[in-house]
Amino acid sequence: MDLASIGNSQEKDRGLELANRISRHAKYYEHIIEYAMEKRIKQGFKTLKRISQIFYRKNGMDVRPYTSPNLLKRSIYYRRLLNLLKIFPYDLDEDAAIVDFGAGQCLFSILLLSLGYKRVLSVDLIARILQQGISLLDFYNQALGTDLALDVSREMPDVDIELICAIDVFEHFTREEAREIIQSNNASRYLLNLPRENLLYNLGTGFHREPTHKMRHFEVIAVFEDCGFDIRKKKGFLGLFKGYLLERAG
């Protein structure tokens, strides 16, 4: 081997070593950013949880499960929201249209607004419940000096939707109803939370199946797959609930 070949080989080795070092540093900083983001999310969630509970008590509202006298049940229902954020698609632009479908008192909508997403659209059939969400956000803004605003509607908005979040919603539909909803909009991704209704879940509910539940979690997922969606991420919580991030194939 001549000197030129040796020199080229050494230069290549130095280049590889430098590339590996940069890659290690990049991964290190990526972990730091992820850790900081996780801390920010948890802190924001903790703040919203505290403010919402004060708001519900102050107004004498019985908003189960958020105000359940059972501490374990109350904690589980709050924690499932936090659990969903572990599979949330953070590659979304802050101006992306996100629909909180079946928003209820808009707790998840407010959480997303607090994380910097600007176009969160809260959809629920019951106007009275949406108004409670608006009042909760007013209380939240007063407590923290923020100026977040909810966009509420009783119908799905006619816009290009990047993500639909549906927390304990699709199990209340029949297969046909769910398919109609999925096919009636252009959302590219769905973030779902579904009850498992397994033995542990049934023990917690005294083996009392919700009369309004028309599908099991695996049936809901089967409908989405029939409509051309693939599971990208999933996250279970204590065997009671399962979160799914689904994306339209192609």
Look at residue 77 in the predicted model and tell me its pLDDT.
73
User: Does the pLDDT value for residue 13 go beyond 70?
Assistant: no
> pLDDT band at 248, cuts 50/70/90?
very high
Mean pLDDT for the stretch of residues 8-31: 58
Determine the pLDDT at residue 7: 47
Cβ neighbours around 124 below 10 Å, total = 21
The answer to whether 103 touches 83, Cβ cutoff 8 Å, is no
Q: At 125, is the pLDDT very low, low, confident or very high (cuts 50, 70, 90)?
A: very high
Q: Which residues contact 217 (CB under 8 A, 6 or more apart)?
A: 171, 194, 195, 196, 197, 242
pLDDT in tens, 213-236: 889 889 999 999 999 999 999 998
For residue 70 the two structure tokens come to 């059972």
Query: Tell me: the pLDDT tens digits for 127-184?
Result: 999 999 999 999 999 999 999 999 999 999 989 999 999 998 999 999 999 999 999 9
Is the peptide bond between 195 and the residue preceding it cis, with omega within 30 degrees of 0? no
Q: Who's near 12: CB < 8 A, 6+ residues apart?
A: none
Is the per-residue pLDDT at 202 higher than 70? no
pLDDT digits (tens, 9 = 90+) for 34-91: 666 677 778 888 888 889 888 888 888 776 666 666 666 667 777 788 888 889 998 9
Domains, in order of start, for the chain: 39-248 (3.40.50.150)
What pLDDT does 78 receive?
Answer: 76
Q: Which residues face 248 on adjacent strands?
A: 229
Confidence of residue 3 (pLDDT cuts 50, 70, 90): very low
